[in-house]
Structure 1
Amino acid sequence: MKIRRTLVRRTLATAVVAAVTAPVVLLSVTPALADAKPSAALQTQTQTQQGEQGEQDKPSIEELEKAAEKAQKAYDDAVAAGKAAQVVLKAALSDEAPLTVAAKNARKEAADAATAKENADKALTDAKAALAALPETATAEEKAAAEKAVTDAETAALSAEDAKATADEKAATAGEVASDARVAAAREYSKVQDATKEALKAKEAADKALADAKEEAQPDEPECVFESKLSTVVTGLPSKIVAGSTTDFSLRVTNGTDKTLGEVSPYVYFHATDKSGYNVIDDAFHLQWSTAASPAWKNVGEDGYGGSISPLKAGAHADMKLRLKVDAKAPAGDGLAFVAGNYVNGDESCGGNLPGEYAFELLAAGSVADDVDDAKPGKTRPQTPDNRPQGVTSTTPVDSGNAVGTGSLASTGSSSALPQFAAAAGVAVALGAVAVFVVRRRKADSAA
C-alpha cells in the first residue's frame, strides 16, 4: 500500500489511537480471527483469482487516454450544443421572434374585426330605428330608402361577423403556434442540458479512471514508519504552571538509530482543559523556540513545529530552548505537553516517533506554585521495550547552547514537505490522555 508523505499525519495519528487501545482490541478479536481462518483463506484465494482475472481485463493507460479524449470531445460538443440551444430558446422567447410578431399582428387584426363588427351592429340598429321612426305621412320613396338602409346594414353586419370569426381563428392559431415554438425550444434546451450533465459525468469518470490507472502505475514510494529510537525528551518543564507566567524549558532530540536521519522536525503542542475537563483552553498557550545558532525567539507554528535539524547522524542529538507564555485570563485546569519528532530523508523515506505526554497542572493567575517538580512523562500508552513514553529512560543532560552531535537546528521553520504527523497524533490522544490524567489526579486527591 502506498503511504505518501502528505498522508503521514493521518497514518501516525491512527497508529497512536491503536497503541492506546491495542490490548482491548486484541483480546476482543482473537477468538473471532481463530474462527474465521478457513473462510478467510478461501476468501483470499477467491479474491486472488478474481484479481488475476481483473488484471487481464483492465484497459491499458493508452486505451484510457483515448477514452478520456473521446469523453472530453463529447462533453465539448454537448456544451456547444447547449450554447446553440440557449440562443434558439432566447430567440423563441423574444418579443421580436417572427412567430411572436405574427401572433401579435393576428391579435390586432382580430381586435380590429371585433371593432368593425360592433360598428356594423350599431349601424343595423340605427337603420332599423330609423325605419320604425318614419311617420305615416312618409312617402313611398322615403320608406323604400329606409328599408334599403336596413337591408344594407344587415348585409354589412353579417360580413363583419364572418370577418371577426376568421380573425379570431387566425389569432388563436398564431398564438398556439408561437406558444408551441417557445415550449419546443425550452424542451430542447432542457434535453441538451441533461445531455451536457451526462457528458460531464462520463468525462469525469473517464478522467478518474485514467488518473487512477496512472497512480497505480507509479512506483511505490517509500513508506513512512514509526521510529521508536528517535527520542524527544523535555527537561525543565514544571509540573505546575501559573496563568500569566512565562516558562523556559528545553527539548532534546536524539537519533538512537544506526543511520543518519536527513531532516528531523521536533514537535511541541500544549493541550489543556479547565477543571471541568470539558472546556478546551489550548489557545491560551503561546510557544517560542530558540537555539544558540539562532538566538532570537521565534514563534512555534500552529502546527506545533519550530526549527528543523538537518542532518542528524546516528547517535547524535540536538537541543532546542523553548519558552511558554500563558494568557493571564486562562482558568485553572489540567494539561499535557505533547512532544514528538519526525524525519524525511533524501530518498523520500520518512517516519517518526509517537508523541510523549508531559502532564502539568495549570494554576490561576496570581497563584503561588510551591514545591514544583519537573513534569513527568505520561504513561497512558502501553509500554514495550521499543515503545516507552518519551523521556522515561533518558538521563542525558540537556545542553541549552549550540546543538551538539552532528545535527544543527536550522534558523528557518520546518519544511512544508515534512510529514506533520504529530499534530494529528496529538489531537488523537489529547482528549483521552487528559481525561486519564484528570481522573487519576481526582482519585489521588480523594484518597488523600
Structure 2
Amino acid sequence: MIRRVLATAVAAAVTAPVVLLSAAPALAAEKPAARTQESKPTLEELRQAVELAQKEYDTAVIAVRGAITFLEEGLEEETYPTKAAVIETKKAAEAAAKAKTEADQAVADAKAGLDAATTDEEKATAQTALDEAEKAAREAAEAKTAADTKAAEARTAHDDARVAQARKIGLLQKARDEAEKKLADAKKALADAKDEEQPDAGCVPEPRLTAGLTGLPEKVVGGTTHTFRLRLTNGTGKKMDEVYPYAAVHAFDAKGLKKLDRHLELEWSTAADPRWRDLDLLDATPVGSLEPKASLDVRLRLKVDADAPAGQGAVYVSAQYADEDGSCGGYPDLDQHDFRIVAKAGTSGTGGGTGKSDGDKAPQGGTGTTQQGGSSTTPVTTTGGSATGSLAATGSSDALPTVALGAGAALVLGAGAVFAVRRRTTAPDA
C-alpha cells in the first residue's frame, strides 16, 4: 500500500492534469463489471479450499512415504510371496547343484572301479554300477537345470514386483506434486483476497523511520565506483522487529530523453554480511531489528560503466518495518538524491573529466540524513491524496533530466520487491 501511494504521488507530480483527466474515462471503461466482483469466492470459501487442498496434499505425502517404505522394506520381507519364492527356489537350486556334484563324483568312482576289475564277474558288476551312476548323474543334471530355471523365474518375478512398485511411487509423487501446487494456488488465492479486502493490512505510515544517504558524490565519472551509506534510524519509542531498506537508481541523458540505467549498477552489503549483493535482493531482505532511537547502516556501491554518457542520475531511498505481532509500516516518502554523470574523457558522451574510484572504501563523516558531497534530497510526500514536493528543483540547469527522474521514481517504486504489507499477508493464516 505504501508503495502504491508513493507511486501515485510521483506520477501525479510529473504528469499534466489534462493527461490524468483524459485517462479517467478509459480507466473507468476498463473497470470490471460488478457481477464479476460478486462472482468471486468469499474468504470463508477460500479458507475451506485451503483446508481441503492441505488434506489432499497431506494424504498424498503419506501415500508416497508408504509406497517407498514398502519398496525398501515390505517387498524384502521373507513372507512376501515373490521374496519367499526367491528364497525357496534358491535353496532348491543349491540342493540340486550339490546333488549333481555328488552324482558326477559317483560316476567317476564307478569308472575307477571298472578300470580296477580283473575278472569277468568283477567287470560286469563294475559296469552295472557305472551305468546306474551315469543315469543318476543325468537325472541330477536335469534336476539342477529345472531348479536353476525356477530360481531365475522367481528372481524375475520379484524384480517385476519392485519395478511395478517403483512405477506406483512415480505416479504417487506426481499426484503429490499436483496436490502441492493446488495447495500453493489455494493459499495464494486466499492471501490475494485478504490483500484486496484489506489493502492496508494494518500497515501505517511511519515518518520517524528515516532513511538517509551519506557519501553520495555530487558527480560521478564513467568507469568509476563509489561507495556510500544508507542509514536507517528508528526515531520511535518502540522496537522494530524487522527493518527492510529500499534503494533504487535511475538516470537520464543530458536532454532527459534517453534512460541510462543500463550504465549503472547498484549493490549493497552490511557489516553482518559484507558480501556485495545485487540490489534486487535489498528490499526483500530484512537487515535486522532496530531498538528505539537506534540506527543501522547499509553500504551501497554504485558502479558507472566506462562508456556512460553525460546525464543526470538519482538514488531513491525509503524504509519499511514489520513486527512479530503483524503490525507494519514504513517511511511515507521516497527521498531522491541527485548526482551528475560526467562522461569519461575520450568517450563520445557529452562532457569529460576524470575521476578517481572510491572502490570499497566506506564513506566517512556525517550521520543521520545529512547529505554529503553536495547531493540533494527531493522527497515526494503524500498528504490527503495529493502529491507535494519539488521534483524539478534539484539544482540542474536543465529541468528536463530532473523531470524525467521524477517520472522515473514511479518506475523504481513499481519495480522493487514487495513492501512489508505483502510480507505480512503472505504469512500462514492463523
Q: What TM-score results when the alignment is normalised by the length of structure 2?
A: 0.49
Structure whose alpha-carbon radius of gyration is higher = 1
Q: What TM-score results when the alignment is normalised by the length of structure 1?
A: 0.48
